[in-house]
Structure 1
Amino acid sequence: MISPDAPSGERQVFERLASDPQTDGWIVLHSLALANHVRQAQGEADFVVFVPGYGVAVIEVKSHKKVARTSDGQWRLGNHAPTGRGPFQQADEAMHSIRGYLHAHGADLRAVPLVSGVWFTHVRARVTLPSSPEWHDWQLLDLDDFRTGAARAVRRLLIEGRDQLSGRLPALRELPQQPDSMAVGSLVAKLRPRFDVTVGAADVRRDRESQLAAFLDEQYEALDAMADNRSVLFTGPAGSGKTFLALEAARRAQANGIPGRLLCFNRLLGKHLRSAIQPSEAFAIGTLHRELLRIAGVTPPARPDDVYWDELLATATDRLLDGNFARDVLIVDELQDLAKPEYLDVLDLLVKGGLAGGQCLFFGDFERQALYDLEDGRAALRARIADLACHTLMTNCRNRPRIGSAVELLAAMSPGYKRYRRQDDGAQPRYYWYGTAEEQEAKTIQAIRDLKAEGYEFEEIVLLSPRRGGSIAATTTDQWLTQILIAEDGTKPRRGRLRYTTVHAFKGLETPAVVLTDIDDATAPGFDALLYVGLTRPTDRLSLVGTRAALRPKLGSLK
């Protein structure tokens, strides 16, 4: 776990490494104090990263948004005073201090590459810093390395560092796979003995509830935007509080006696909205299609098809044109699923003054959550609302930081989240790799049991799959698993039952722990969007059951 007081760049590096599936087996020490520093009375290494089979990297992190060298060779970092002791010198001194300590305590480092590097987390330093005899180009890591993967960047540092050192250290050529896991454990034990602190499940739940209930400045600004503008479009990635704000807007309207509607596309999300706020005669809450059924005065068949819903849209439109159904305020969550002409035509008739002149609040993620082959509907919306105000949300209010970092890596988010409301609790996402269907069933069961052993109840866990049919949850024959599984239906979770559903159906919702299964076909339609939505559903624990091949394009490869 990293301190919340740590510089933003150090938190970012720590969270990216912790959430990267390629760091399995790695050990990362943050803020390692060096009592016997080679230059000063006491020093510190920002990160010491132990990678089995590659080596040990000592990394100095610089979070400054401006990096410059003066004409006399001084470093100017951000607004700090110029200094002659640059970051590469700091990293090198920390590395030699660690090497000296390990030698003094009997460590054999002849076959262990020990290299140093500097990570400029907020600038593209590899482009802007010229080459210099003071450091090797391979010692430089920067902002772009978050996009391609933190683990990949550290491995690159170690690979090129080994190549540089092998010319004068023959053991590096003779034993290319060192250090192994046992050697890594021995080195870490000399530098920082390990210990574990256990937090009770009840404490975790209280912590989650208190953190999710708190407002941040960004949310207050968003609420102010609601009051100051007639029509506002709130955009932001998953977990940025859009549904929370939609519900708050509905509560305020109800409290002030303003007739209106809070609508969405997804059925389970509609049930969640109705459970969070009691609808009334004056204020309807639920899916758009549920509201159109009410307006049209019809009951759908048991299994309606697309033709039925198209006909309902036409029938309801006729009723809206003939009657007085418009209300004072319209709130739409997950707008990206409804931002196409036929839906906008209906929404136009549901609010007094129409979209062009009515009071409307829209919430949507247009970057990655479009699961229904829809085009970006913002242009169509702006064409109907000339004075539409826009407000962007970039604070992650849902996920623990390490889950958010995994989302940024695997979904290639750029830019990523600006900050996190939730505190880091030291638990990183878990990855369970499989090759066959039988292996996937075993890995899924193991993921569930790992969460249960950690203190999560079955009703706090949801199995999500990108498949509508044939998912591991729907097809398993394991007796233990079939006894606890229950299809998610949007009602209150039943104690002792493990819910399962599709990523599509769970869109817009959240739960403490998610096991994302069936991640094995990167060529499936909408795979990137489905992966993004599935990864962002858990508030506290993310487990992914998949194949390495499916995620290899996301993670890249090294020699």
Structure 2
Amino acid sequence: MIPAYCTESAPPGEKAVFAALRDAAGTEHWTVLHSLGIAQHERQVEGEADFVIVAPDAGLLVIEVKSHLSVARGSDGTWRLGQDPPTLRGPFQQAQEAMHSIRDFLRSKRVDLRDVPVLRAVWFTGVRARATLPDSPEWHSWQVLDSSDLATTAQAVERVMREGAQHLDAMIKYFGFGGHGPDRATADRIVATLRPRFEVVMTAGDRRQAREGQLAQFVEEQYHALDSAADNRGVLFTGPAGTGKTFLAAESAQREVAQGRTGRILCFNRLLGRSLREKLTDVVGLRVGTLHQEMLRLADLSGPPIDADNDFWARVLPERALEGLAERSAGEVGDFLIVDEIQDIATGPYLDLLDLLVKGGLRDGRVLLFGDFERQAIYGSEDAREVLRDRSPHLASFRLSENCRNLPRIGYQVNLLGHLTPGFREFRRTDDGIDPTIIKYVRREDQASILRKAIGDLRDEGFDLTEIVVLSPLGDSSVAASTSDPWLRQVLSPADGSKPIKGRLRYATIHSFKGLDAPAVIVTDLDGSVGSRFDALVYVGLTRATDRLTTLVETNTLRRLVGAET
């Protein structure tokens, strides 16, 4: 089923057919597309097919669903469906138009439909239409499905496809002479051709002010990821920065809730947690936040103690959260659990708690985990993936590889400075021909003037202050946090995960900004002598930029990063 859920706003008949198709036995090799938008409709500006079933060795069936409790055809030729206004354009004509539009589109994409029965039917879910509709030259009896067919869905659909294929055999010379298609490969191509063309979601308008109204279309890899989430109880999604893990985690959470389930989406970073809460604030039945916030809540603590150390976060707090969970109602245990940044959370005490937050636990529950175990594990242990596998040995794996965030030239610079092997090679976005900027410095205090000029250059290019973020591996001693430059002090403000304020320029540590992005990023204080896991921090910092990247690197560090004199 694509998508794997039916929205609450769908008509009752569509919900009934969706459930019947989803639960039908013997349909493992079918693909069912629900609410397939048709941009190139043969009659209307745009249209929609309620269901499209692609069944290998049987055909392609377009179904128009009518939920009405009464169906009538007047002497003037108008259709009266329930309380709807009379219309000359009846359901069989709607199905026919949708079928022709889809068939024409597939042919325009050179999909071979020879010997593939492309059929249409109308499913009246509220009436016994097969017994009551009279014979008519406008439709064949095999094109009618009704309420009685909901109990034997697979057989009903197979009956339509079988009799439809027989009709085409009789009408078209040599049709199906060698058997009816599509074969498995053609069926996969039909689905792959229809789905990317018609399923489009608005993302950039919410994520970047500079791109309001832009449509971001799912790449095929992301569709496969969502399919994998629908087909398996537990899935571990892995991939480098920029492959859409956080976006897919949020989308998966909304789909789970749309199916009537309750649960959690948790992450590690505080700023990412706040950003997710703002985006998902209207999703009822979903608890959103960081793992640490959830542990504090379960432990009935308003905040950490003043002297909280690593032992408190790693051992004491998880233990107190487990005690608090044991005292609370069973309502705390969710139907699903989604965790982003799992590479930073996969430790024994944390997994003990997560195991009790979802029905069936980490071994058998509905668990979707997203992480980058190669370079973004800047908090977790090196063996995080093995620890996770011990707890959830039955997790299906899905690896994301196509970069959806960065312009290609930014990705190539990440490959160079982050020492990625094999590195980013596939990008969804089209390059704009502008190279990232690398600026070397000798003394840390030299960076303030460089930073101010870099901000000015971005503003001259048209970037608003709210679209620019300054990142550093350092905290209070970073150039952005400690600068004495009057103008920088006036416009700079620490990032808190909420939407940027007009006229203000955000800054943050690379650690805290992990999981987020910005149209223009300036990374400062890149000095290889400042701390551990430096290469990982370079990788995380540089991959936050979607369109413009400026990097301020200490001279000797730059030599080491590029492996040559610069």
In structure 2, what is the equivalent of residue 300 of structure 1?
A: 303
Query: How far off its partner does 1:352 sit?
Result: 0.4
In structure 2, what is the equivalent of residue 255 of structure 1?
A: 258
In structure 2, what is the equivalent of residue 268 of structure 1?
A: 271
Give the 3 Å change call, closer, same or farther, for CA 362–299 of structure 1 in structure 2. Answer: same
Query: How far off its partner does 1:298 sit?
Result: 2.2
In structure 2, what is the equivalent of residue 7 of structure 1?
A: none
Query: How far off its partner does 1:492 sit?
Result: 1.4
Distance 2:335 2:478 in 1: 43
**Matched residue SS, 1:421:** coil
Give the 3 Å change call, closer, same or farther, for CA 431–542 of structure 1 in structure 2. Answer: same
Distance 1:280 1:214 in 2: 23
In structure 1, what is the equivalent of residue 490 of structure 2?
A: 483
* Equivalent pair of 2:239/2:401 in contact (CA under 8 Å): yes
* Equivalent pair of 1:284/1:291 in contact (CA under 8 Å): no
Give the 3 Å change call, closer, same or farther, for CA 237–523 of structure 1 in structure 2. Answer: same
* Equivalent pair of 2:445/2:479 in contact (CA under 8 Å): no
The yes-or-no answer on 1:246 pairing with 2:253 is no
**Matched residue SS, 2:247:** helix
* Equivalent pair of 2:339/2:370 in contact (CA under 8 Å): yes
Query: How far off its partner does 1:351 sit?
Result: 0.5
In structure 1, what is the equivalent of residue 326 of structure 2?
A: 321
The yes-or-no answer on 1:530 pairing with 2:531 is no
Distance 1:470 1:454 in 2: 29
Distance 2:260 2:409 in 1: 42
- The aligned amino acid for 2:316 is E
The yes-or-no answer on 1:343 pairing with 2:346 is no
The yes-or-no answer on 1:498 pairing with 2:505 is yes
**Matched residue SS, 2:513:** coil
Give the 3 Å change call, closer, same or farther, for CA 319–558 of structure 1 in structure 2. Answer: closer
* Equivalent pair of 1:520/1:546 in contact (CA under 8 Å): yes
| Residue 398 (structure 2) aligned to one of 391, 395, 405 | 391
Query: How far off its partner does 1:207 sit?
Result: 8.0
**Matched residue SS, 1:470:** coil
- The aligned amino acid for 2:281 is Q
**Matched residue SS, 1:545:** strand
Give the 3 Å change call, closer, same or farther, for CA 372–354 of structure 1 in structure 2. Answer: same
The yes-or-no answer on 1:548 pairing with 2:555 is yes
Give the 3 Å change call, closer, same or farther, for CA 205–364 of structure 1 in structure 2. Answer: closer
In structure 2, what is the equivalent of residue 372 of structure 1?
A: 379
Alignment of 1:451-462 (within 5 A): 451-462=458-469
- The aligned amino acid for 1:447 is A
| Residue 224 (structure 1) aligned to one of 227, 244, 254 | 227
Query: How far off its partner does 1:311 sit?
Result: 2.6
With the length of structure 1 as denominator, give the TM-score of the two structures: 0.61
* Equivalent pair of 1:440/1:546 in contact (CA under 8 Å): no
In structure 1, what is the equivalent of residue 120 of structure 2?
A: none
* Equivalent pair of 1:432/1:543 in contact (CA under 8 Å): yes
In structure 2, what is the equivalent of residue 420 of structure 1?
A: 427
In structure 2, what is the equivalent of residue 177 of structure 1?
A: none
Give the 3 Å change call, closer, same or farther, for CA 420–262 of structure 1 in structure 2. Answer: same
- The aligned amino acid for 2:232 is N
| Residue 354 (structure 1) aligned to one of 349, 356, 361 | 361
User: Gaps spanning 5+ residues in structure 1: where?
Assistant: 1-201
* Worse-matched range after superposition: 227-236 or 408-417: 408-417
Greater relative contact order (Cα < 8 A, sep 6+): 1
Query: How far off its partner does 1:280 sit?
Result: 5.7
Distance 1:358 1:322 in 2: 22
Q: Deviations over 1:57-77 (max 9, x none)?
A: xxxxxxxxxxxxxxxxxxxxx
Distance 2:213 2:285 in 1: 32
Query: How far off its partner does 1:212 sit?
Result: 6.8
User: Gaps spanning 5+ residues in structure 2: where?
Assistant: 1-204
**Matched residue SS, 1:420:** coil
- The aligned amino acid for 1:516 is V
In structure 2, what is the equivalent of residue 285 of structure 1?
A: 288
Query: How far off its partner does 1:279 sit?
Result: 5.9
With the length of structure 2 as denominator, give the TM-score of the two structures: 0.60
Query: How far off its partner does 1:210 sit?
Result: 6.4
Alignment of 1:172-211 (within 5 A): 208=211
Give the 3 Å change call, closer, same or farther, for CA 209–341 of structure 1 in structure 2. Answer: farther
| Residue 450 (structure 2) aligned to one of 434, 443, 446 | 443
Distance 2:294 2:530 in 1: 36
Distance 1:273 1:455 in 2: 28
- The aligned amino acid for 2:291 is L
Give the 3 Å change call, closer, same or farther, for CA 302–452 of structure 1 in structure 2. Answer: farther
CA RMSD of aligned residues (A): 2.1
* Equivalent pair of 2:411/2:543 in contact (CA under 8 Å): yes
* Equivalent pair of 1:211/1:422 in contact (CA under 8 Å): no
Distance 1:321 1:455 in 2: 54
Alignment of 1:94-113 (within 5 A): none
* Worse-matched range after superposition: 417-426 or 320-329: 320-329
The yes-or-no answer on 1:515 pairing with 2:518 is no
Distance 1:397 1:279 in 2: 26
* Worse-matched range after superposition: 529-538 or 382-391: 382-391
Distance 2:264 2:562 in 1: 43
Provide the aligned length of Structure 1 versus Structure 2: 357
Query: How far off its partner does 1:386 sit?
Result: 2.2
Q: Deviations over 1:134-192 (max 9, x none)?
A: xxxxxxxxxxxxxxxxxxxxxxxxxxxxxxxxxxxxxxxxxxxxxxxxxxxxxxxxxxx
Distance 2:333 2:269 in 1: 22
Distance 2:489 2:521 in 1: 18
Q: Deviations over 1:295-348 (max 9, x none)?
A: 222211574623543432111111223442211100000100101111111110
* Equivalent pair of 1:212/1:422 in contact (CA under 8 Å): no
* Equivalent pair of 2:257/2:284 in contact (CA under 8 Å): no
